[in-house]
Structure 1
């Protein structure tokens, strides 16, 4: 019984280490996500702009939004998201973004603070 527990622990440690190195490899292989990214939110779309790219997505194509204490996680698919730091927003801007998300009927888990 103890050997099964040890193997289970080894398996979980392996998964954590593998995930870390996979994410690190993805980050360093994608130059776009290493750039400073500017976000512009309008009634119709979200614009993302970096040094080498300029793109937008419409609200109706957003999969879902999760609001955390420090971040807005804007999912384009179940696996792909933009992490938008809240530290660059005023309280009023955070409230306005929440209203935009609700207004566009995006599936969302938003905070109430």
Structure 2
């Protein structure tokens, strides 16, 4: 995910991931087989442009997020039969995922976790 090669806006391509209003955002439709998830590159895309600092994090966080989602399928927190969005955090990224009751797919959206503004007392 090198930001120099990514256009700012990829709205001309289908969006496979969970609907997301945050940019930049990486979205994917993962294929579910039991409690296992499979990533298919042709069912993924990026909207917006990740900064050079943020572009490295998805590659590091993706295996961790996949494992956490598989554990949620095992525990039943994420169900192929019921729509329920789960939110995960890893390496400065937020991941929202949901099966949308699709019985075979998990849709995800991954984006940089917004900074919390400092408050003064």
**What is the TM-score when the length of structure 2 is the normalising length?**
0.23
Larger radius of gyration: 1
Structure 1 length as normaliser, TM-score?
0.24
Q: By percentage of residues, which structure has more helix?
A: 1
Larger RCO (CA under 8 A, 6+ residues apart): 2
